Each structure stands twice: as C-alpha cells, then as structure tokens.
Amino acid sequence: MAVLNSIRKRGVFLIIIIALALFSFILSDVIGNGSSASSVQNVVATVNGVDILREEFMSQVDDYQRSLGPNTPESQAINLIWDRELKALLFKQQGQNLSITISEEELNDQLRLALANNPTFQDETGMYSEARLIEYVSAIQNNARAKQQWDDYIEGIRESLVQNAYTNLVLGGLEVTMADGEDLYRFENDKIDIEYVQVPYSSIADEDVAVSDEEIAAYVRSNPKRFEVDPMVDLEYVVFEESASNEDIAAAKEDMADLIQGFTDEADFAFFVNDHSDENFVANWTVKSALSQVLQDSLITMPQGSVYGPYKDANSFKISKVVGTIQLPDSVEARHILIPLGLSRADSITRNPSQARAFADSLYTVLKNNKGKFKSFVSAYSSDAGSVANGGHYDWFGYNTMVPSFRDFCFEGNKGDIGVVESQFGYHIIEIEGQKNKSTAYNIATVSKEIEPSEATLSLVFSESAKFEEASRADGFAAAATEKGLTPRPVNRIGALDASIPGIGNNRSIINWSFGEEVGVGDVKRFNLNETYVVAQVTRKSSEKSLMSVAEASSLVMPILRKEKKAKMIRQGISGTTLQEVATSQNVTVKTASALTRATPTIAGAGTEAVVVGQAFGVGAFNTTGLIDGETGVFKVRVLAESPAPVLDNYASYVNQIKATLSKSSVNTRLFNALKNAADIEDNRAEFY
C-alpha cells in the first residue's frame, strides 16, 4: 500500500520521466539509422588479438547470477566470469603455441571421473557406462539448448585438461635438488654471533629532512611499475533526499490520530488493520518481554480494547490495541505423526488432500481412545524423518520454532490434548506432552503507516536539486554548495569497473557518466537515485593508465626518500673505522646479538634487518662490514663467531619443504598472473555495465 501511495505521489514526475525516455529512444533510433552497424561495440575484451564477444560473455554472467540467486551483485558475477574466461583463453593460447592437444582417450578418461556419480551415465549396477553417455548425446541432438550446454561442458573439460597439461609442463621444469634442500637447511640453521653499532634514523627529526614534490615525482617516474594506476576519476557530490518534512510528519501523525476512534469501535480489528495499514494483520501471541519498551510501558497497562498512539516506530506512525490475552507456556514438548500430501515415505501410498485428511482422522479416532498405539503408528505411517527415530517426539521447543498451525495447537492447548492440524506439509496428529513456564501473552493489532514526503515536498526537493545543478555549472560547484549551506562529499580514485561509491552505494550510472569520453573535469550532472537526487562533479580524471600524482604517491614515497636522506646524513657525520670509534662519534653504544639466522634475521634491540644480517653472513667470522643502510638505521657489524649447522646425511625433508610451496594449484595461479601481466589486453567491460 505504501508503494502504491509512493507511485501516486510521484505520478507527475513519472509521466515526465517516461516521456523523456520515449523521446530519447526515438532520437537514438533516428541517429542510429544514420550510422553503420559496424559502429556498434560488441567486444567485451581483446586478449592478444582474440575477441571475447559481449553476447556470449553476458550470457555466462546471467547464468552465474541465476545460479547464485537474484541478490548476487552483477559486478561480482562479471568479475568472476572475466577471470574465468581470461584464464581459459590465456592457457588455451599457450597450449596452441606449444601444440598441446587433448586426445579422445584423455577426454573420455576425464569424463569417466567427472560423471561417475551421475545416475544419467550409470548402468544397472551403478557403474559409469560409456554406452549411456553415447545414448545421452544422441538423445539431445534435436534439443538445441541441451546440445549447446553439453558442447559447452565438453569445451570446459578440454580447457581444464589443457590448463592441467601446461601447468604440468612448468612443474616438470621446477626440479628441486638436494643442493636446494641443503641451501634451505643452512638458511634456517647456520648461525652467527655479532657485535654491532646502530645509528637509528629516529636520531634525526623528520622535519629536519626536506623532501620536495620534484623528488617524489622523479622517484615515481623511475619506478613506473610500482606506481602505475588504472584510469581513475575523483568526484564530489551533494545529496538532496526526498525525506518527509516536519509538516509531512505532523500531517502523518494527525492522519493516524484520525483513525483511533474507528479502530476503537470496529469489532473486526483484522479487517480494519488490513484496510488501513501498510502491513496486514498477523495473528500472533507475544509475551511482555518481547514487546517494544513503549508498548510494555503504555499499551498493556491500558484496558483491553483501548487504542494506544499514535507513536513513532522507525519511519512509521502506529496505533495499537490489545485484542486478546492468554496464558502461554514459553516451551512445549510434543509428539506427532505426519501424513503427507502425495507420496508417503512411510507406507509408499500416494494420497490426495481428502484422502490424507480421512486417513489422519482414522488414526486420530484410534489414538484418542488408545494413546499406547502412538509410537507404533509413528513407525508405520509418519513421513517426518526427523522425528520417527524418537517416536515422533520433539523435545522442548519455543513459540516460533514450528509452523503456525502446529505451534498454535501446542501452545494454546493443554498438556495431554491430542488432535489433527493441517500445515503445508500435510496433516499432523499431535499430542501435547508437556508445557512449562506459563505467562501472559498478548495478541496485538497494529495499524502502521510509513511516513512519506508529500507531493509538495517532492516538488521542492526536485526544484532545489535542479537549481543547484544549474548554479554549480554557472558559479562553480563549491560556490553553489556554500550558497546552499551544503558540504560536498569528495570521493577519490574511482575505477572504471568499480560498482560502488562511498556514501551512495552500488551505482554504475554515476561511474559510467564520469568515464564518458565527452565528460571532463568540472562537468556536473544530477542523478535520481533511490528517492534521492545526487548532484556530482568530476574533479580529476585520467582516461588512460598513468602514474600516481605526487599527492597520491607522497605517503608511499616520502618515507623512502626521507630514510635515504637520513642515511646519507648519518654517514656524513660518522668518523672512525672501528665499531667503538663509530659508536663514540654518534653517541651510541656497541651492542651484541647471538644465534642469528638468515631465515629469522631479527637483531635484539634493533628489529628485523634482513640486509644487515645477510651482509654479516657474507663477510665471515672475525670480519667487519662497511656501513649498511638498514630498515631502522645505519649499521656497522663485526662477526664474532660462526656456527655452521651439522652436515646431514641427506636433505630430503627440506627438499619436500620447498616442493610443498610448488603445489599445482599455486603454480597454476602464478602462471595465470604471469600470463595476464604479459598479455596485450584491451578491457572494454566498463562499456557494458
């Protein structure tokens, strides 16, 4: 009902929008007729010169969304299918380059494994049958959809086998030798003791080390792979919400108050609720503790039949009255016999509704005089697999555990009652075996009306958003926002394939507009989104892959350059050649660290310093390194002792340790990433969603 009211209030705007849409459609058709069909983009991507076509790609996206349900985000489906198709194509291209072919024997072997548990392809003994496979393929030849699905399935099997063969070829070249195992063993177990001097970078204040924008830019240019970014836009936006005004709220409250007398006088409270409320009446008993605090404090203290309200609950006004009370247990135990509609798994008899009811009544007639037969009747006739083993018994369960008809009989009846009730599962013969902790429960009828903006408010919001759009184009976005007392929300680094905008949520329309070829920095557009108007402006845009700006890269690059400069300053201030001389010149002390390994290069009192420990291992016992720029400072190290690990008879366990990192799945993933990085990919997905 709320939806209908919303549509009615927006009628004028819907007519305008529909008219504009029709005009746009006609105009695009006129323009389209004057252009060649070849201009229509139908390629989702081109990978090393091979096209991925839109129709096939989107068909797979649709199939995936259907398989996961209607709430699956389209962006999730598109990204998953993209990765799957890209991987299949890249491996297929590698297979073709290496002339990898899949024989019919290999294909049949894989089908035997994949279809072994599918009854369609099993013989009378439950074993996989190639004859059944041939029969199936023959049977679907005149069914275009089934044949296409089977062909796609076979193609998927072939692609999987090609990927497997290619991965095996690479794995075959990744031989791990005993020498590799020994290297790992020594990496983990050879040890050294050292003494060292550390002049920490923190000894120089950050503010004393200037890093210019030019230096940051130069570093970015010299490390392009690290700082390359995909096409991005920055936006800022303001929101005009179609929310109810104070006048709308007061009017909604008054409208609800006008219903109180009618609600009080109407005996058929269910009819009244269904006629006036956004939510239909549901007969339900509720204990006091489950009621909202406002109803606990007010409604149930009033005489039964009195109407309480209007009161505000979330975005609705409500009026409520107690239409019944009962003493209700908080839990019940019961046993039952289920006679289903259709085929009964207990006695293998198929019954229509009247037959099922008649049979349930006949069992009830016997049981009400002789409950001793209940357990045997459960074994012989009940189709509820979950309770047959327990004699039809369900242990203590709460009010909202069972279906309504089953629940109502158990909670509103008395211990020892037996009867027949109908549910969507069939007919239940139920005996109430126990009830406990009875308390007062209330049946409450509530009229609820959502608070909605009036047509006048909708018109005002529409007008204000349109005026702001025009003012921001004429006077500038910031000036227009200041004039209206609005604070624009900035959103940075939005990608062409992003699906969500912070503060707005899932919205491709704004992203698609901002990446349009005709849209530039400073352009403004208004969007009607989910009962709000969003006015957005593009504040920065890069249409091609580019390097990070100085502002974007600063947080990453500045610590690196600052550390390099501090290391240079420290080196310039050091005098002497021995550890003690260096320590004295920098007012630090000589420290020691024991049992260091290259696998865990953590120096006590200094932190993790892989480069420092590695160089110390390189100079050998009783030798001294030069100055080393470490992670936390400038170091000088003298090796006091070396403790090589004992020689082993063999290093097979370490060989296996290395091999464990080279599993087929991990190698396959690394191969895909390597092939993707090396491929020439023109990705047009953003054009289609």
**pLDDT tens digit sequence for 510-527:** 999 999 889 999 999 999
Residue 245 to residue 251: CA distance in whole angstroms? 10
Kindly report which listed range (176-185, 205-214, 660-669) carries the lowest average pLDDT score.
660-669
Average pLDDT over residues 133-146: 91
Q: Is residue 446 part of a domain?
A: no
Q: Is residue 180 part of a domain?
A: no
- Residue 30 is predicted with a pLDDT of 39
In a shared domain, residues 254 and 237: no
Q: pLDDT class for 290, splitting at 50, 70, 90?
A: confident
Residue 448 has pLDDT above 70, yes or no: yes
Q: Is residue 6 part of a domain?
A: yes
The residues, any chain, with a CB within 8 Å of residue 613's CB and separated by 6 or more, are 192, 596, 597, 598, 601, 603
- Residue 3 is predicted with a pLDDT of 38
The residues, any chain, with a CB within 8 Å of residue 555's CB and separated by 6 or more, are none
In a shared domain, residues 169 and 48: yes
The predicted-structure confidence for 382-398, as pLDDT tens digits, reads as follows: 999 889 999 999 999 99
Q: pLDDT class for 477, splitting at 50, 70, 90?
A: very high
Residue 296 has pLDDT above 60, yes or no: yes
62-96 in b/e form (b: 16+ CB < 10 A) is: eebbeeeeeeeebbebbeebbeebbbbbbbbbbbe
Closest CA to 430 of 500, 382, 490, 475: 382
Q: Is residue 649 part of a domain?
A: no
Residue 5 has pLDDT above 70, yes or no: no
Coil/strand/helix, residue 682: strand
Q: In terms of residue numbers, what domain contains 390?
A: 331-436
Radius of gyration of the chain (CA): 38
Average pLDDT over residues 557-569: 96
The predicted-structure confidence for 102-129, as pLDDT tens digits, reads as follows: 999 999 999 999 998 888 898 888 899 9
Question: pLDDT > 70: what percent of the chain?
Answer: 94
- Residue 26 is predicted with a pLDDT of 38
Residue 31 has pLDDT above 90, yes or no: no
Tokens in use for 71? 């709430």
Residue 33 has pLDDT above 60, yes or no: no
Q: What phi and psi, each to the nearest 5 degrees, are found at residue 260? A: -60, -45
Give helix 455-475 / helix 477-484 axis angle, nearest 10°: 140
Tokens in use for 27? 């105009």
Residue 35 has pLDDT above 60, yes or no: no
- Residue 4 is predicted with a pLDDT of 38
- Residue 39 is predicted with a pLDDT of 36
The residues, any chain, with a CB within 8 Å of residue 322's CB and separated by 6 or more, are 299, 300, 302, 304, 305, 306, 442, 443, 444
Average pLDDT over residues 413-423: 96
Tokens in use for 259? 């219903």
Give helix 11-33 / helix 2-9 axis angle, nearest 10°: 70
DSSP conformational letter for 382: -
In a shared domain, residues 165 and 47: yes
In a shared domain, residues 532 and 622: no
In a shared domain, residues 341 and 428: yes
Last residue in a domain, options 311, 328, 345: 328
In a shared domain, residues 55 and 161: yes
- Residue 596 is predicted with a pLDDT of 97
Q: Is residue 184 part of a domain?
A: no
Highest averaged pLDDT of the listed ranges 28-32, 533-537, 542-546? 533-537
Kindly report which listed range (4-8, 113-117, 476-480, 621-625) carries the lowest average pLDDT score.
4-8
**Which residue matches tokens 């609005």?**
486
Tokens in use for 180? 């590799």
Last residue in a domain, options 294, 328, 362: 328
Give helix 652-660 / helix 178-189 axis angle, nearest 10°: 90
In a shared domain, residues 500 and 615: no
In a shared domain, residues 635 and 561: yes
In a shared domain, residues 15 and 49: no
In a shared domain, residues 62 and 118: yes
Residue 183 to residue 181: CA distance in whole angstroms? 5
- Residue 28 is predicted with a pLDDT of 43
Q: pLDDT class for 172, splitting at 50, 70, 90?
A: confident
- Residue 174 is predicted with a pLDDT of 87
In a shared domain, residues 482 and 580: no
Residue 687 has pLDDT above 90, yes or no: no
- Residue 689 is predicted with a pLDDT of 79
Residue 409 to residue 412: CA distance in whole angstroms? 6
- Number of compact structural domains in the chain: 6
Average pLDDT over residues 248-262: 96
Residue 333 exposed, middle or buried by CB count within 10 Å (0-12, 13-18, 19+): middle
* Residue 363, domain CATH: 3.10.50.40
Coil/strand/helix, residue 3: helix
Q: Is residue 181 part of a domain?
A: no
Average pLDDT over residues 442-457: 95
In a shared domain, residues 395 and 497: no
**Which residue matches tokens 């005089």?**
369
Coil/strand/helix, residue 591: strand
Q: pLDDT class for 71, splitting at 50, 70, 90?
A: confident
The pLDDT mean for the chain works out to 89
Residue 563 has pLDDT above 90, yes or no: yes
The predicted-structure confidence for 338-372, as pLDDT tens digits, reads as follows: 999 998 888 889 999 999 999 999 999 999 999 99
Coil/strand/helix, residue 409: helix
- Residue 386 is predicted with a pLDDT of 87
Tokens in use for 151? 């062909």
Coil/strand/helix, residue 662: coil
* Residue 133, domain CATH: 1.10.4030.10
Q: Is residue 652 part of a domain?
A: no
Residue pair 321/299 in contact by the 8 Å Cβ criterion:
yes
Kindly report which listed range (72-81, 125-134, 142-151, 344-353) carries the lowest average pLDDT score.
72-81
- Residue 597 is predicted with a pLDDT of 97
Last residue in a domain, options 544, 579, 608: 544
Residue 282 exposed, middle or buried by CB count within 10 Å (0-12, 13-18, 19+): exposed
Average pLDDT over residues 214-225: 94
Residue 83 has pLDDT above 60, yes or no: yes
Average pLDDT over residues 649-663: 91
Tokens in use for 398? 């709460």
Q: Is residue 108 part of a domain?
A: yes
